[in-house]
Structure 1
Amino acid sequence: MRVTDRNNIPQLIKNLRDLKRFTVEVGVFGDDDSFYAMIANIHEFGVTIQKASGSIIIPERSFLRTTFDEKQNEWAQFAKRQLKNVLDFKIDARTLYERLGARMVGDIQEKITDIEAPPNVSSTIRKKGSSNPLIDSGDLRRRITYKVVQK
């Protein structure tokens, strides 16, 4: 008779430690594309640009913070379901964070697509040919990404 050691405790301990080794960051990263990081920052917080002929006000259209506020409980539940897979040795900790990052990116991109307020001024709508305040070419939306960072 052959006896197989099925002690999974060392692997379980490693998986649990690995969960603390990673974090996920989501957004537009300056080191990847500083122009779109600036555009994201302008729309996230708003800005007033002073010119000799007056000022241009770009209102706050938060898509990162508001998505976080709206989705954080869903993301926590998603991570909890993925944690079960880590504990069952179906995925590793990094994969949990990769899946969570992809989910977060999708939710933020959806927010960018759906946001309607504050609306663009009529001159901007005529110039863009669209009333969606955060989508012109779609480049900002495409640049939302995530990084799994090892601590």
Structure 2
Amino acid sequence: MPGNVKDIGSISDLINGLRMVETKSVYVGILGNVDSDFIKIAAANEFGAIIKPKKGKFLAIPLVPEAKGKSPKAFGDLKLIRKKGSKGEAGGVLARVAGTNIEPIFALVKQVIIPERSFLRETFEQTSVLDAIREEAQFAIEDYFAGKIEAIQILHRIGLRMVAEIRNRIVDNDPALAPNSPLTLKLKKGSGPLRDSLRLFQAISYSIDGEIYSVSGGIA
């Protein structure tokens, strides 16, 4: 008889653990201490964007790796070259000029269009992804009832699976994201969309009721 009472108590504890899980929320995305400029870059890729200059008429787009992340002001020897017969509204290039040798360093454009590359929303529109998350939750609950993990670990395993699915989307590029332009491919380190310094990849994390958990790991 005492054994039966103990079993009932254990079942009650397990049920209470599941009730605790039901009261909590798991979020995934670009979370934590991330600078505002990086958030803007992530949002521009997720939703698409048209970038226009805040000051002046043109954006300076780097054309060579050494100009990436720099302003034309960092180069003291650039000359403005415009297409013959064009007016000031047409932009042009800032180039190094040495005799007859012309090396374009920046292109001057009125705007840059970033196509939508939804690495968050579209990931969770995939039936296979939702099935994988449900399966992870099911296995975690089974492990919980088997006494292998605590109740809170159910949420952690769901969060980790969600992060993994987003990262897999970026790595596998399936379904395909909008491709990079030839110029972007020339300047960036990674070959696929959203894969340059892998900063975006590493910034994807999850939270449980506001407490953020970073997930280490890169691309093999």
Q: How does 1:126-145 map to 2 (within 5 A)?
A: 126-145=186-205
Which amino acid is the alignment partner of residue 157 of structure 2?
A: R
2: distance between equivalents of 1:36 and 1:93? 34
Give 1:20's aligned amino acid. Answer: E
Among 141, 163, 168, which residue is 1:110 paired with? 168
Which structure has the highest helix share of the two? 1
8 A contact 1:119–1:131 mirrored in 2: no
On the 8 A contact 1:15/1:86 being kept in 2, the answer is: no
Aligned length: 148
CA distance in 1, matches of 2:197, 2:171: 12
> Aligned partners of 2:154, 2:164: CA distance in 1, in Å?
16
Q: Structure 1 runs of 4+ off > 6 angstroms?
A: none
Which residue of the other structure, out of 133, 144, 165, is the alignment partner of 1:86? 144
Matches of 1:97 and 1:139, distance apart in 2: 25
Residue 58, structure 1, aligned to residue 114, structure 2: yes
TM-score (norm 1): 0.86
TM-superposed CA distance for 1:76, in Å, is 1.2
8 A Cα contact 1:86 1:96, kept in partner: yes
Contact 1:22–1:94, Cα closer than 8 Å, also in 2: no
More strand by share: 2
Residue 14 of structure 2, aligned match among 12, 15, 24: 12
Uncovered stretches (5+) of structure 2, i.e. residues with no partner: 58-108, 211-220
Q: Which has the larger radius of gyration?
A: 2
Name which structure has the greater RCO, CA cutoff 8 Å, separation 6+. 1
In the alignment, the residues of structure 2 paired with residue 126 and residue 84 of structure 1 have an alpha-carbon distance, to the nearest angstrom, of 49
Query: Do residues 32 (structure 1) and 33 (structure 2) align?
Result: yes
Q: Indicate conservation of the 8 Å contact 1:26/1:104, yes or no.
A: yes
